[in-house]
Structure formats: structure tokens, C-alpha cells
Chains A and B, each alone.
Chain A
């Protein structure tokens, strides 16, 4: 079944059509372009679309640039969409923001990129032309559908969560998370979707991405030819299959830990050095082409647990400097860090920007020691 997004832009029709063509995936993702019109017309059109059934909306951020009779913003339109849905008691749908100047948008709404829950995600028009990003908006649409179904079902809260995350039991989820999720689900579907996406999928939590998995297993994945086999076969039991899994590959941390303890050694992964981890895995799995990850320059420990956001390579907590902007993390979320070397050389600085204030003095001291 194809997802059907409706795309509203103030560009000339032909251009909208070309862009829409670029975003489509035949038989999977349908994009219907619409020229933005004056408010009353627009709202009426949207109401009609919603009642006919849509998978979601894609709005151009600067709607009032080209046309002469458009005097409203994408934010206003998004608000109206949410209102109409509630008003009509229709199924909730995602709203995606696109823009030519997406960097301006990201700068403007730094710290509040959902714009108070109005937008589920944001891309530049070019970005949305890539396969992975198309998968993402489809995944978000799917998440909305799942939640719509769950809301109208009779399942209790715990069961709903199990179905959402595709798990047999909630026992491995932190009670605080369960509680927060419950609150969100009581508010709205878009709140729920954005909460799960931002809190546990886009940010390392009890769900981690591939690089983190490799780091925690002490493996240098770039140089390990057997990594894919390990990941796809041996770690299949830890693979995440809940909502968003199609677009964002994740693994359950508790699953990884469980796999390690029951099959290799009943000692925590974190307290084992990378070479020892790899040795044990090789013995257990019989895979020989697995290489232990090595320390980054100026690092002391190989008890890797996280990723250096600069080098994108394994890093131990001991050697890491927490990146700023994470003072409000929830208990189930992990802190993103950067290594001393990457910090001194400002590697990939656009992504991590700066070290958290409380770690700066220590960093400055070490920096003056090591810098040229």
C-alpha cells in the first residue's frame, strides 16, 4: 500500500511537479503537489483532503515568498491542519517541513525543531530526494497509522507499548519511560510519535545504532569483514523491530548485553576491554575476521562504550567529553561525547558544536597540554 503525502508549495506548478517527481517511489511513496493558495481556499482544500484520507502533508516553509495572495506561514498552516484533524475527528497524520533554506529553519528553531509539536521532521528539498530520507517519512507515516490503530483498540497501556515496540514484555523498559510514554499517549498521537522518535530513536538510549553496537562489542567494524554476519545473524535477537525500524536501524541494548552474558561471559561488557570482548566473540561465533577497535589518539581506555562524535569511532566513557545541549536528558538516554583529540582539532565540529560547559575547564587544561 502506497503512502500518499500531499505537498504544498508556493512555487510555480511545473516546479512543484518536478520536485514531487523527485520524491516519489513508485508504488510505495506517492507525492501529490499542490500550489499554495489563499488561506480560505487552502484550508478548505486541506479539510477535503483529510476527509478523503491522506498519509501526511509536506509543507514548504516559506509559503509567502512567490505568490502574491499568500499571507500565512507554514507554521500557521500546520496548526490549522492539526486543528482540522481534531475537529473532524480524523486519523492523525504527520506534517513534514521542507525548505530551500533548511539551515535557516534549523538555526531559527534550534532546541525546538518540532516547533512545539507542529512538525514531525524537516528536510531540505534536496535531502528528501535520497532513499533513506524517503524511507523516513514513510516510516513516520506508518508510525502514525500504527498509533491510530492502537488508539482505537481495546488494548491496555502495556499491551499497546508491546505492540508499538514489537516486544513480548515491557520489563526491559525503564518505568520512567513507560510512564512518560503513557502521558504522551494521553495527549495526542503526534506528541507520542515525536516523543518516541526524538527520545529513543534519534538519540542513543535503550535503542542504539550500529556504530554503538560495534563500539560496545569492542569491534572495529570498518576493518572486520565478518561484521555483517555477526550483526545480521548472531545479533538478530537483539534487533529492534518496532515503529520506525524500517527507516532507522536500531538494536536493543539489553538484548546485546543479554546475548553477551548468556553466551560468552557473565561479566558486564562495559568492564571488559575491547580485545578481550573480541576474543570471546570470535571463540563463540567462530568468526575470525573480527578486529578489535583501537583507542583514538590521546585516549587511555579501550573499554569502549560510546562513539566519538568527531571521529565516529569507539570511545570509552573515561576518555569522552560530553557535548553541550544535553543537560535535560531523560534517564533512559545516553550522553553523546567527543574525544579529546577530536575536540582539539575540531573534527566534525558542525555536528557537535561544543563541549558541555562543566567539562570545559578540564578540556582547556588538557588542550593546552597537548595542542601544538
Chain B
């Protein structure tokens, strides 16, 4: 203790230097907060770009973190009374930033502690626009140890040549923690809520806006290891890549309004849909231009906060999005400047939330479930901005005296009208596509059980992984996480049980069929021994001079036997092919040609004509088993025969076509039978679905087991095993049913492997 103090009659508080560390721990707490605070400080300083660089931060206390901004910088006075004064009131006195009038984001006075939290040494280099030189101050936090009086520790300050026109650079040495990519990313996401729209559209030039938005604020993260610098996170990509749809619209100088909608998720690529300024329903059919509104341009990103709309969105990212959605809304910029409070948190200036569409639901027949008739349509579903060029006198808009908002005039209500209608129209378009997509998804049913179980396990793994990265944080609550894990594990277990049951049932079914198959194989083989003998005697008889009636009988015998042979030979070949267990790239044309020759006689007897139509060229499926195609074609054929019989068509017709389309080989099988009743298109592929009357208890085992709706299921399973698809498509004129199979094409590598 200093002698002076002991002798004084009036004593003041002193501060132990250890307070720096304590305040750092308590006020800052986590490294995300630390970094975020420093970025917010740059934001408050009217910076447009803040660049962070984590240099060699892969070893404790060896790395450096630099934070550079192009804000207004500090002069000496500001440095001393601001940065160097703990608990300064600067932020209270100046709640908005000087240049861009930003509401200050940084929490009061945390910045310096943040730097101490991150590393053991700090160098600040700062310069203002008007200063001739830059200021440099270096603070060694290790000097601020317990037992020292805080005011007795001095840090060198000097003037150095300016490094830029204005702005501040923070150089934090001796970075206390190791920073992995994942950790840097987490911090990045944490600060993303600060991001001002830098996502202005590219049409700017086309519309000749006067200035690029000066209000933009961009954060860039870099990592440097062994002098190699890499970009960590791209601001725009992070959020807006996830948008389900991008809506853009404008009102040109002739006051005509248009929008475009683009969506990969919903498969939309619409150009220029007109928006009518009309009010009542009659006028909406005719497209009317606006009366005063012109030179407006907007861009909005649409989000739905439900996981099933996104492919591969980890739950944490979705939660993050949901959190950030508070900041959603359409912001207004006029002549380059942000106009508040439009688009601020809680501001629904377009009255989107008032629309009641969310309550309507629709029943989907296939699944017997009700879904939202309309996609979510609320203020928080749209992130975007609208820019208005309003420099022509007289101006369209006028700002209120308090500078909070614009005066309610015709232009403003037309603007609101335009934006509301645009978003509504886009939502309708998306909604329509959503229903179409659902139909398509019904067909993609194979990505069902297997994928869901995988997904559940994946989610679980992700949560577990994220725990290990959070393990450093002590203020991070572990309660919600373990609950989350529990739920996920339960989901996995349930899904597994369901799957297991299905597998057992399927296996049982397949066992029965396999047994049958073996018997058939044996039979087909045995027949071969007998057929030449039959032929020999028939051939002998045919040569004899027989009485007419006996000759007729022999002729019939010969013909019947020939038909029998044709049938038998088809299976015979399938059996022999089965002994070759190889998968080979298959040429569908030859398989179909062979098949049609085999069934030609039988088809003729059944009064069915078979037409073949093949695309020219040589194309092969991915390696498949030859006999599987035998089964598939046979199955289609027998089904077609039954259908044609039921339809009582005078002439039955079958058409088989094959060819290649992009990277798929397709086969289409059509018939003019009684068709498939609407509603059954997907059911026919289900096990045991059959429209024929079930075999009675007196029927033979074979009758009971075959023709009971297993055929198409097996065909589907077979095709899907090879990552192919089978579905119904509209048949050509003259036919009623058309099955289409798409199988992957073999790659050049596979063809080379098989010498094709």
C-alpha cells in the first residue's frame, strides 16, 4: 500500500488491477460474446467492413487475432476518455452512431474486457479521417495482476503513420484458446444477426440507383495458418442460400409493376408476372399501372421454419434461423438510406400478419391427413428490402419531422399495396407448386424407412458432436441438449422397431416365394429331359400315313406341344441365366426382343398383338441381373393379359418401348386393358394389393400364393434396389395403362469393365 494513502485524512476508493480479469470473466464469459462485442463496436463506429483474421490460432497462446474496421476511428481524446475509461458513459450519451445513425449495438463498456478475454496482449491502431497520424497503444493484460493498483499500470501510446484513411485495428496477441473452424463458424453465426442487408440485388445498375447502399455492414472472417489465408464464412450464403424462394419485383418508371419468383425447392422459375394496381376484383384481371409509384425495386427471401422443407438442415441451424426470424421483415431504403422503423423487429408495416390464411387446412386423400392449405404467410417469413429512388422533384415520399417513418400519402399506400400483392402472389405460386411437389413425393416413397432411420441417427450424431464443441462454455445450459438427445434416441429406437417389423414381414413373404422359385427351377430343368422325347415321337407320327381323325389329333398334339415348349423354354433360359450370378450391364432392346419372341405364340392365342418401339442406338443399364428382367417383363405381361381380358377388348394390344433419356434407360409397357382406377396408382405397388377376387380356400396353394398382388411389389423392389424408379404415366392413345421403369445407365467405366 502506498504511503500517501495511509497518511491521508480523506480516502478514496482504489481499484485492484485484478478487476480486469474478473470483469472480463463475468461480463464477457464466452468467446462468442467477446468477438461479437468487438464487431458491434466496429458497427457502432460506422464501419462498413470488419475483417477478422485468426492467425495461427491452433496452439494456445501462440495465435493472433486481428480485427480491422473502416469505421470512424478514435482520436486521442476519444481513446483516453472512451476506451481507457472503465464504465464510461459514452454509449448512453450517444445512442446513435454519428454517420449512419445506427442504433448502437454494443453493450456498454464490454469491448476492452473482450480483448482481455481473448488474448493476453492488445495493440490498438486507430486513426480518424481528419487526423494526420494514427495512434498506437499496446496493453499487456498480464501486467494487470491481483495486488496491483490499476491506476499505477501504464501502457505505451505513440503516434505512427496512418495505416488507412480512417478506422481501427485491434491486434490481439497470445490468443488464449485454440480456434477450430467449427468454433470460428459458431462465432460467425452468433454475430450474423448484426448483418445489415448487403444483399442488394444486381439490378441496381439497371435501374440506375444513385448510390450503393452506404449503410451496408459486412463482416469477413479469415483463418491464416502457416501464412495460408482462407475465407471462413461468407455472409450472404449462410442465411440466404437456405431461402426456399427468392422474390424480386419492381415498378418501373412507367409505373408498371412486375415480380419474378425463383425457387429450387419448389421448382419455380417464373419470369415477370405482372402486378395490377387495381383494387376490386374486376380490375385485377386487367393489369393497371400505379398512379404515382415508380422506380421501386424489392427483393425478398422466403423461409418456412419447418425442417421438412429443407434438405439436410441440421436442427441447430433451423433453430438459429427461427431465432433470427425475429429480425425478418421488409426494410425500406430511400435514396440509399435506411428509413426506420420499417422492417424493424415487430414492425409489420405491410400488414402481412393480419392475413388469415394460416387457419385454412386441406385434406390430402392419399394420406388422409390435413395440411395447411396455404404456406406460412407472415412477416417473419420474409427477409428483404425495398429500395426507392426518389430524387425527382416533387419527391414521392416525405419523411416525418421526427425522422421516424414516412408521411402517409398516396405513394406510400401504393408502395404497401405493391409489396403486399407481390408477396401474396409469390406465396400463391409457391403454394401451388407445393401441392404438385407433394404428388411427386408420393412417388418417391422408397426414401422412406431406410432414410428416416438414417436421418434420425444422423441428427443424434450431430447433437452429440455439437455438445463436444460447446464443452468449453460454462454458461451454456446443458439441460435442453440432454432432453434433445433423449428425444432423438427415442425416435431412433421407435423407428428401428418399425423397420424391424417390416423387415420380418417382408422376409417371411420372400421365403415363401423363394421356396416356390426353387421348385419351379427344378421343374423347368427336369422338363428339358423330356421334351426331345416328346418331339421325337410326335415328329415320327406326323410322318405316318394316318386316318384323318388320327392325323388331326396328332397335328393338335404337335401344336400344343410346341406352345408348351415355347413357354417352358423362356423359364428354362431364366433358370440357366440364374446360374450366372453376375451382374452385367444389360441391353434392354435385346431382352425385350427375346421376350416378345417367346410370348409371341401365347399372345397370338390370346388375340393380343405386341408392338415394339425402341430408340436407335446402343445403350446399357447399370449392371443388373438378366433374370430379374425376365420376371419383370413376365409380370407386366400376365397383368396386361388379365387386364385385357377384363376389358373384353376385341383386340388386345401391348406396346413395349425402350430407350435412353439423359442418364437413364427407360422401359415403357402399355396395354389396352381395363386400366388402373384413379387413386390406386400408388397402391398397386403395395404388397398384397389386388383388385382380383382373392382365391378361395379350395384353391391350390399356387393359386393362393400367386396372383395375390405380390408381383408389382417385387418388380418395384427389384428396380429400386438398383436405384431405379417405376411409376405410371399417361398411356398413348389406344392404350389405357402405361408403366414406366427408369434404370440408371451404365457408366463408361462399367462398360469398359465388361468389354462393351
A residues adjacent to B (C-beta < 8 A): 11, 14-16, 18-24, 26, 66, 100-101, 103-104, 125-126, 129, 344-346, 349-350, 367, 370-372
Contact A11 B529 (CB under 8 A): yes
Q: How far is the CA of A23 from the CA of B532 in the complex (A)?
A: 10
Q: Which 9 A-B pairs have the closest CB atoms?
A: A22-B536, A125-B532, A371-B617, A18-B533, A22-B539, A21-B540, A15-B533, A18-B536, A19-B536
Known contacts A21-B540, A346-B587; 20 additional CB pairs below 8 A are: A14-B533, A18-B532, A18-B533, A18-B536, A18-B537, A22-B536, A23-B536, A24-B540, A66-B529, A100-B528, A100-B532, A101-B576, A125-B535, A126-B532, A344-B617, A349-B590, A367-B618, A371-B617, A371-B618, A372-B617
Chain B residues with CB below 8 A from A23, complex form:
536
CA distance A250 to B589 in the complex (A): 35
Chain A residue nearest to B540 in the complex (CB)? A21
Can you list 29 A-B contacts with CB-CB less than 8 angstroms, sorted by A residue number? A14-B533, A15-B529, A16-B533, A18-B532, A18-B536, A19-B535, A21-B536, A21-B537, A21-B539, A21-B540, A22-B538, A24-B540, A26-B543, A100-B528, A101-B576, A104-B576, A125-B532, A125-B535, A125-B536, A129-B535, A344-B618, A345-B614, A345-B616, A346-B618, A349-B590, A350-B590, A371-B616, A371-B617, A372-B617
In the complex, the answer to whether A22 meets B616 with C-beta atoms within 8 Å is no
Instruction: Note all chain A residues with C-beta closer than 8 A to B537.
Output: 18, 21-22
Interface residues of B in 518-542 (CB under 8 A from A): 528-540
Q: Which residues of chain A are within 8 angstroms of B543 by Cβ–Cβ distance?
A: 26
B530–A129 CB distance below 8 A: no
A126 to B539, CA, bound (A): 10
B614 contacts across to A, CB distance below 8 A:
345
Once A346-B589, A372-B616 are accepted as A-B contacts, the answer to whether A126 and B535 lie under 8 Å apart by CB is: yes
Please report B residues at the A interface, Cβ cutoff 8 Å. 528-540, 543, 576, 587, 589-590, 614-618, 659
User: Separation in Å of the B478 CB from the closest CB of chain A?
Assistant: 63
Contacts of B589 in A (CB 8 A): 346
Are A129 and B536 within 8 A (Cβ)?
yes
Residue of B nearest to A125 (CB): B532
* In the complex, chain B residues whose CB is within 8 Å of the CB of A372: 615-617, 659
Which residue of A is nearest B531, CB measured?
A: A126
Q: Of A18, A24, A346, which is within 8 A of B534 by CB?
A: A18
Q: Which chain B residues border A371 with CB–CB below 8 Å? A: 616-618
B331 to chain A, nearest CB (A): 54
Q: Closest residue of chain A to B589, judged by CB?
A: A346
Q: Is B618 in contact with A19, judged by CB distance below 8 angstroms?
A: no
Interface-central residue, A15, A66, A350, by most chain B CB under 10 Å: A15
Asked whether A15 lies within 8 Å of B530 as measured between CB atoms, the reply is yes
Given A345-B616, A346-B589, A371-B618, A20 and B529 contact (CB-CB distance below 8 Å) = no
Are A100 and B618 in touch, CB under 8 angstroms?
no
- Residue of A16, A24, A346 ringed by the most chain B CB atoms within 10 A: A346
Q: Report the nearest B residue to A26, measured CB to CB.
A: B543
Q: How far is the CA of A24 from the CA of B543 in the complex (A)?
A: 10
Residues in A with CB closer than 8 Å to B540 are 18, 21-22, 24
- State in angstroms the CA–CA spacing of A232 and B165 once bound together: 107
Q: Contacts A26-B543, A372-B617 known; A100 to B536 CB distance under 8 Å?
A: no
- Could you say which residues of chain B place their CB within 8 Å of the CB of A126? 531-532, 535
CB B569 to nearest CB in A, in angstroms, measures 10
Task: Please report the C-alpha to C-alpha distance between residue A19 and residue B532 in the assembled complex, in whole angstroms.
Answer: 6
Residues of chain A within 8 A (CB-CB) of B528 are 100-101
Cβ–Cβ < 8 Å partners of A14 in chain B: 533
Q: B615 contacts which chain A residues (CB < 8 A)?
A: 372
A344 touching B616, Cβ below 8 Å: yes
Provide the bound-state CA to CA distance between A210 and B55, in Å.
87
- Interchain nearest-CB distance for B208 vs A (Å): 49
Bound Cα distance from A20 to B576, whole angstroms: 26
**Nearest A residue (CB) for B539:** A22
The residue among A16, A21, A26 with the most chain B CB atoms within 10 A of its own CB is: A21
Complex contacts, A344 vs chain B, CB 8 Å: 616-618
Closest chain B CB from A148 CB (angstroms): 30
Residues of A within 8 A of B618 (CB): 344, 346, 367, 371
B671, chain A: closest CB distance, angstroms: 25
Separation of A371 and B533 alpha carbons in the complex (Å): 47
List of B residues within 8 angstroms of A103 by Cβ: 576
CB distance from B692 to the nearest CB of A (A): 37
**Which residues of A lie under 8 Å from residue B538 when comparing CB positions?**
22
Give every chain A residue within 8 A of B535 (Cβ-Cβ). Answer: 19, 22, 125-126, 129
Task: Report A-chain residues with C-beta under 8 Å of the C-beta of B659.
Answer: 372
Complex CA distance for A371 and B617, rounded to whole angstroms: 5
**A88→B540 CA distance, assembly (Å):** 36
Q: Measured between alpha carbons, how far is A100 from B536 in the docked complex, in Å? A: 13
Query: Chain B contacts of A101 at CB under 8 A?
Result: 528, 576
Which of B532, B534, B537: most chain A CB closer than 10 A? Answer: B532
Instruction: Give A34 Cβ to nearest chain B Cβ, in Å.
Output: 15
Name which residue of chain B comes closest to A129, CB basis. B539
Query: Within the assembled complex, what's the spacing in Å between the Cα atoms of A349 and B590?
Result: 9
Instruction: Name the B residues within 8 Å of A16 (CB-CB).
Output: 533
In the bound complex, how far is the Cα of B529 from the Cα of A203, in angstroms?
33
Given contacts A346-B618, A372-B615, contact A22 B532 (CB under 8 A): yes
A129 to B541, CA, bound (A): 13
Min CB–CB distance A102 → chain B (angstroms): 11
Say whether B536 contacts A11, CB under 8 Å.
no
Interfacial chain A residues near B531, Cβ < 8 Å = 126
Chain A residues within an 8 Å CB radius of B616: 344-345, 370-372
Query: Which residues of A have CB within 8 Å of B576?
Result: 101, 103-104
Contacts of A346 in B (CB 8 A): 587, 589-590, 618
Residues of A within 8 Å of B532, CB to CB, are 15, 18-19, 22, 100, 125-126
Give the CA-CA distance A349 to B593 in the complex, in Å.
11
**Cβ contacts under 8 Å, B539 to chain A:** 21-22, 129
Q: Which of A66, A100, A101, A350 has most chain B Cβ within 10 Å?
A: A100
Chain B residues near A100 (CB, 8 Å)?
528-529, 532
Chain A residues with CB under 8 Å of B617's CB are 344, 367, 371-372
Q: Name the CB-closest residue of B to A60.
A: B532
Q: CA A323 – CA B325 in complex, angstroms?
A: 70
Q: Are A20 and B590 in contact (CB under 8 A)?
A: no
**A370 neighbours in B (Cβ, 8 Å):** 616
- Distance, CA A341 to CA B75, complexed state (A): 86
Task: Judge whether A19 and B587 touch: CB under 8 Å.
Answer: no
Q: Report yes or no: B536 in contact with A20, Cβ–Cβ below 8 A.
A: yes
CA distance A350 to B590 in the complex (A): 9
- Tell me the nearest residue of chain A to B565, going by C-beta: A126
B566 to chain A, nearest CB (A): 12
A126 to B530, CA, bound (A): 11
Determine which residue in A22, A346, A349, A370 has the highest number of CB atoms from chain B within 10 A of its CB, and name it: A22
Contacts of B529 in A (CB 8 A): 11, 15, 66, 100
A23 and B540 alpha carbons, distance in the complex (Å) = 8
Once the chains are docked, how many angstroms separate the CA of A24 from the CA of B540? 8
Residue of A nearest to B542 (CB): A22
Nearest chain A CB to B702 CB, angstrom units: 26
Which residues on B sit within 8 Å (CB–CB) of A26? 543
- A11, A345, A349, A367: which contacts B533 (Cβ < 8 A)? A11
A345 to B614, CA, bound (A): 9
- How far is it, in angstroms, between the C-alpha of A125 and the C-alpha of B537 when the chains are bound? 13
Q: Quick one: closest B residue to A98, CB to CB?
A: B532
CB distance from A336 to the nearest CB of B (A): 20
B54 to chain A, nearest CB (A): 53
CA distance in complex: A104, B525 (Å): 14
CA distance A11 to B528 in the complex (A): 12
Minimal beta-carbon separation of B557 from chain A (angstroms): 13
Q: In the bound complex, how far is the Cα of B576 from the Cα of A21, in angstroms? A: 28
Residue of A11, A18, A101, A367 with most chain B CB atoms under a 10 A cut-off: A18
Instruction: Give the distance to chain B from A367, nearest Cβ to Cβ, in Å.
Output: 7
Point out the residues of chain B lying under 8 angstroms from A345, CB to CB. Answer: 614, 616
A367 CA to B539 CA in the complex, in Å? 46
Residues in B with CB closer than 8 Å to A19 are: 532-533, 535-536
